[in-house]
Amino acid sequence: RSGSEVARSISEPVVRRNERETAPLLGHATYSYITGEAGEWYHDNRDLHYSVFFWDPFAATNDWMLHAPRYEIGASAPQKPSRKFQGIPSVSLIIILIEFCERFAYYGMSTQLLLYFETKLQMSDNAAASHVLLFTSGAYFTPVLGGYLADVYLGKHTVIVLFSMLYTFGLFLLAAGALTTNVSPLFAVLLTTSGLMFIALGTGGIKPCVSTLGAAQICFDDDQGHGDAEEATKSYFRWFYWSINMGSLLGVGMMSVLTPAYGYGVSFLIPGFLLFICTVWVWLIRNQCLHLPPSGSVIGMVWQVIKDALKCRVKSGRQSNSEKRHWLDFAIPFHGRHIVEEVKPLISVFKVFAILPAFWMLFDNASNLWTNQAKFMSVPHWISPAIVQIYNSMFILMLLPIFDRVIFPFLARNKIYPSPLMRMVFGMALTGLSYVIAGGIEHWMTASLQPISALWQLPQWFV
């Protein structure tokens, strides 16, 4: 067999390298092959490799030839996951269900934090909101650590198991802080702070690994169409995103009902037990997963390319041909043209990402501001005011099929194709408008002599 049959390109889904692209990787050594259940073993006179073909939209390594320290020669090859639903393997379906439980636990807990700080820990509105935002920022910063450990040292599955244990431990500490009575308030604050630190570390650590681990299970034989793998992967991510919002919807709803009746301790303890079950479940499917060995940090590679390019550009000074070259081309002698060409699009992406922090500061702060607003609105006594945060997930689940099946096809029929950047600009404008609506509702509440219904928040959440 030719080398192109055992190597694939990372720039397109399930498209293998041609001979020109494969030659630098495979050289001119002779290769022997042993067909396996999910791929092929091949030997390059230096090492034994196992090749598995799948489509991963987050793939960012140079090659998907898997070194095989996990399997001995003569041992049974890993079993290809069976396809159960829309081409999605059963293991990927389990990972979708685990993501649902994790999001249930996270949003069920986090949406109650603001009111917990204000009532249990006697914080002011501003102090409570600051602490919630600090916790949220930690939860969205630690994915860098989780992704790095998975890429360089441990692999995705191991990182998910270890960080899920920290996550579960943090939820139990948080519940212990809420359940403590007749003790020093400082001790409750200590338990709460420690718990939130473990939760932020845990949820951030597993975030970059769960989605890609599920996508990595979508493997298909060579005699099946590559389009099947691509369609199965698209279907997988649609269901994955659905599980995130459905977990949020049920988590916020159930915890907002249970908190007034049983207290914050129970509303933190239930997510802890649920996540403990998920952690055990992830560990139990370890032998059913196709594991990708650590292949190096993509962040480190990109940084090295940028650093070498800048260093060489400065040393080269003003050259006559420098104006015709992209500044990253100066790193080609060190990293090769293929790597440098993959880094170039990131520079354009960074320009877009630079405006996203402003958007997310508004978006994430809305849950705190509008929950505080709901405290002064008419809400049934048996429901926590945090219930208003359920509107976000509810509208997402309602609008996704409308956009997918009605709005975008209608635009396509009229030859209107909004670019992703146009969609982002439109979405940001609507986010700003939602704050204008919230301000109008606040003005109405201030002028009114009686509380108005929390249902009046529906327009701002919809927008």
User: What's the one-letter identity of residue 27?
Assistant: G
Q: What is the phi/psi pair of residue 160, to 5°?
A: -60, -45
Q: Computed from CA positions of residues 65, 69, 75, 79, in that sequence, does the dihedral angle turn out positive or negative?
A: negative
Q: Which residue has the tokens 């509380």?
A: 451
CB-CB contact of 198 with 173 (8 Å): yes
pTM of the model: 0.75
Query: What is the three-class DSSP state of 8?
Result: strand
Angle value at C-alpha 30, between 26 and 33, nearest 5 degrees: 90
Instruction: Give yes or no for a contact between 146 and 207, defined as CB atoms under 8 angstroms apart.
Output: yes
Q: Which pLDDT score is estimated for 222?
A: 35
d(CA 48, CA 63): 15
DSSP for 39-57, please give it: EEEEE-SS-EEEEE-B--T
Least confident of 81-95, 229-243, 347-361: 81-95
- In the predicted structure, residue 345 carries a pLDDT above the cut 90: no
Select the more confidently predicted residue: 129 or 336: 129
Q: What is the mean pLDDT of the chain?
A: 77
Q: What is the DSSP letter of 182?
A: S
**Which pair of tokens denotes residue 313?**
């550009």
Q: Which part of the chain has CATH 1.20.1250.20?
A: 84-296
Backbone angles phi, psi at 65, to 5 degrees: -80, 115
Beta-carbon count within 10 A of 25 CB: 15
Q: Domain 84-296, CATH 3.30.1330.20 — does that match?
A: no
Dihedral sign for Cα 337, 339, 345, 346, please. Answer: negative
Mean pLDDT of 342-353: 80
For the stretch 170-212, pLDDT in tens is 999 999 999 987 777 888 899 999 999 999 999 988 888 888 8
210 near 148, Cβ under 8 Å?
no
| Secondary-structure breakdown of the chain: helix, strand, coil percentages, each rounded to the nearest 5 | 70, 5, 25
Q: What pLDDT shows up at residue 444?
A: 92
CB 37 within 8 A of CB 77: yes
162 confidence band (pLDDT: 50, 70, 90): very high
Cβ count within 10 A of residue 42: 21
Of the candidate ranges 15-19, 96-100, 370-374, the one whose mean pLDDT is the lowest: 15-19
> Is residue 220 scored above 50 in pLDDT?
no
Write down the pLDDT at residue 132. 92
Token readout for 443 is 């003005």
**Residue 219: which pLDDT band, with cuts at 50, 70 and 90?**
low
228-232, 260-264, 369-373, 395-399: least confident range? 228-232
Q: What is the pLDDT of residue 66?
A: 35
Per-residue pLDDT tens over the stretch 410-436:
988 888 888 888 888 888 889 889 999
Residue where the block lists tokens 């293991």: 91
- State the pLDDT at residue 13: 35
